[in-house]
């Protein structure tokens, strides 16, 4: 992408912090905290659409884990 646009891709896999949304932000449910995001990585065999990220959230009250997918 950098070859075409001249802009380095800033999206990446990460643990903790704040999610780096691929598209507009997802409204997370009450009491769900951001855990991590997984970027598409062809070398690891993780491809979410043409370009995508998986976002994982955790509810410490109910012990539930949820994930959201954004791709383009």
pLDDT in tens, 28-72: 788 999 999 988 777 777 777 777 888 999 999 999 999 998 887
Q: d(Cα 49, Cα 11) in Å, to the nearest integer? A: 15
Residue 23 lies in a domain: no
Residue 8 lies in a domain: yes
Residue 60 lies in a domain: yes
CA distances from 9 to 38, 60, 69 (A): 14, 32, 18
pLDDT attached to residue 2: 52
pTM (2 decimals)? 0.74
Number of domains in the chain: 1
Residue 11 lies in a domain: yes
The domain of 64 spans 2-17+30-71
């Amino acid at each position: 992408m950098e070859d075409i646009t001249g802009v380095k891709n800033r999206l990446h896999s990460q643990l903790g912090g704040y999610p780096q949304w691929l598209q507009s932000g997802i409204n997370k449910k009450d009491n769900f905290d951001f855990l991590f995001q997984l970027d598409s990585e062809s070398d690891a065999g993780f491809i979410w659409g043409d370009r995508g990220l998986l976002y994982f959230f955790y509810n410490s009250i109910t012990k539930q884990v949820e994930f959201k997918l954004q791709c383009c």
